[in-house]
Amino acid sequence: MSKRPIDIEDLFHLTQYSDPQIDHKGETYVFTGRAINENQSYTEHLYVQDVHHGELRQWTFGNVKDRFPRFSPDDQTIVFLSNRSGIDQLWSISTNGGAPKQLTYLEHGAGKPHWSPGGRSLLFSAPVGTDRAFTEQVEKTKEEREKNVKKKEPFKIERLKYKSDAMGFHGQKHQQLILFDIETKTSEQLTTNEVDHNVGGWSPNGKKIAYTANLKGDNHIGQDIFIQSIGTVEETRQITASDGTYHDISWSPDGAKIACFGHTYTYDGATQNEIWTIDVSNGEKKLLTPDVDFEIGDAMISDFQSGQHNPGPVWENGQSIIFTASRFGRTGVFRASINGEIHPIFEENRHVYAFSFHKETDVLIAGISSPTDPGNFYAIPLDNGKITQRTYANDAYLSDIQLQEPHTVRFSANDGWEIEGWLLYPSNYNPEKKYPLILEVHGGPHAMYGYSFFHELQVLAGVGYAVLYTNPRGSHGYGQHFVDAVRGDYGGSDYTDLMAALDQTLERFSFIDDARLGVTGGSYGGFMTNWIISHTNRFKAAVTQRSIANWLSFYGVSDIGYYFTKWEIGEHLLDDPAKLWDHSPLKYARDVETPILILHGEQDLRCPIEQAEQWFTVLKYYGKEAVFVRFPDANHELSRNGPPRLRAARLAEIVHWFRDWI
């Protein structure tokens, strides 16, 4: 029986596995499975499976979101985050069975749990208001929450950074560190600074915790590491020098050092992550990756495996660290020794989006995706590297669906730089026919397309388009010089990289109809879509998503505008407004001749919807063919983690627009 191409509605039938956690015996692992229910909303449940054999078992059920499961030190209990009460709180479930039990009852909810080594306490961060004592901020009933949502009060703003796309308007709440006592079922607030605090974890002896925070004010962009003792009067110590950003903390087995990801902003936001070790006693830093010229961590762009929990650097023992890194369109698992030697553990044309490591058995459980696999877990013993697939999340559903394997293609830029990309053939490919092509441009721009499942790209190939996606300069995966090359040059060599890739694709693949070309992208890719059609008329149609059109206004309305504009364009608003205007597609709107569909979320605070409003208004005023679709209840994450029905509606708008115009 012939297979059918994937379609938009298939999104509602795919399951996403994430966040594996191996128990302390190394026998079992727990993870989260996310799906879309019949009401077109997300559910997340906990599953368990033996590391080396046996079927997986579902542990939690219902129309809920259960995530971040963590085994207690004795493996008798799993604590997890759940919205079962209507807001995220910590819950527990026995590994021997039984119903989940609620642990915390905080007014604004709780965050991801971290067990103390002895199993007596849980450490987590939680939003805490400054208007009254922490002990008074108890969970409200559903009716009380709904009443508060309906009640509109004036919102007073006094700080520079008062909103974020992920959290909305900050108000008078900050992420504080909370200690929960398992025996007494009581919570204690550990931090009080009016800034956000991020948990870094417990020292091996359970006497200290590490966390990150920015105490320098909103004009300072960075995170420092702090050490705080538990149960003593010793003062909190800052062990980094406010010279960069440090995150994803991991204590060494002996508790003497901390490993972390981070950098010192040498190239502002385009600086590649490094791995550092820091002496807890004196703050002495050591760079473990001075000769590594690729991104540490997961830089992969995907609309399916997006926003996964990265464990950061994980100590294999006192002499080496395991971590993920991204290069050449691949995200793999690597080992760094404390003397600076770097070796890949697993690096194939795939995307390692999550992993858990068990020290005693030397086994990894890794979440791995490929262009034709949304993602599954694999066991990887480090002694032989032999990989064994453990889950088959979507195999049954996808058995009658044709997914397209990408063709890796490399192009020569105008200045001789090599640009990597991928071409999906249309699902109904016939060498005797000609096919239209869609050029996709990723966001960031400091991110990376590659060997991961991407539903949108597969849908476009499924309806009959060739799909070209590339990593122009500015992308991660090709070295520091490459990722830095776009800064101050938006719309310059990045634009010519894309056009060179398109030209050479048309030269090499005769089945593509050069008279039927489309272009689309989101965020920076939306900016580039706007820029492309205001600088060339070769495309028959365009779709711009959550885009930037005017850097002058972006500076003041985006949650990151006041520093990102300087980082990427090169100037602050009042220092050189002419430069910001020169890099704004809006300046060239009168030159647009390509019909364009503008898609934007109403709640987007990263690229606020006023960017789309300006772009649409000016285009329509000058008589251009433009349609504007606004998505309610959607922020910058619409295409990846937005409401499922809106994700599907967005894809339908894209498909219909290209069908109408190409």
- Of 191, 230, 224, 239, nearest in space to 208 by CA: 230
Residue with tokens 């909370």: 178
Q: Catalytic site residue 427? A: no
Hey, which bits of 130-196 come out as E strands? 163-164, 168-169, 173-181, 186-189
Exposure string for 186-206, b = 16+ CB within 10 A, e = fewer: ebeebbeeebbbbbbbbbeeb
Question: What's the rounded Cα separation, in Å, for the pair 284 and 159?
Answer: 33
Helix 524-533 to helix 493-508 angle, to the nearest 10 degrees? 70
- Of 653, 636, 589, nearest in space to 616 by CA: 589
**235 Cβ contact partners less than 8 Å away, ≥ 6 residues apart:** none
- Whether residue 66 contacts residue 99, with contact meaning beta carbons closer than 8 Å, is answered with no
- Of 182, 28, 43, nearest in space to 96 by CA: 28
Residue with tokens 């997986």: 56
Catalytic member of 302, 493, 523, 558: 523
Question: What's the rounded Cα separation, in Å, for the pair 203 and 36?
Answer: 38
Question: What's the rounded Cα separation, in Å, for the pair 576 and 494?
Answer: 22
Tokens representing 504 are: 């050479």
Q: How far is CA 427 from the centre of its chain?
A: 29
Angle, vertex CA 266, rays to CA 264 and CA 271, nearest 5 = 85
Question: What's the rounded Cα separation, in Å, for the pair 660 and 324?
Answer: 42
Question: What's the rounded Cα separation, in Å, for the pair 334 and 184?
Answer: 42
Question: What's the rounded Cα separation, in Å, for the pair 168 and 38?
Answer: 28
Catalytic member of 197, 263, 358, 636: 636
Q: Catalytic site residue 24? A: no
- Whether residue 413 contacts residue 473, with contact meaning beta carbons closer than 8 Å, is answered with yes
SS3 percent helix, strand, coil of the chain, rounded to 5, is 20, 35, 45
Q: Long-range pairs for 317-321 at CB < 8 Å and ≥24 separation?
A: 317/253, 317/359, 318/252, 318/253, 318/254, 321/250, 321/259, 321/275, 321/288
Tokens representing 344 are: 């890949």
Question: What's the rounded Cα separation, in Å, for the pair 531 and 520?
Answer: 11
Residue with tokens 């649409």: 616
CA distances from 560 to 218, 570, 607 (A): 11, 14, 9
Query: Catalytic residue numbers?
Result: 523, 636
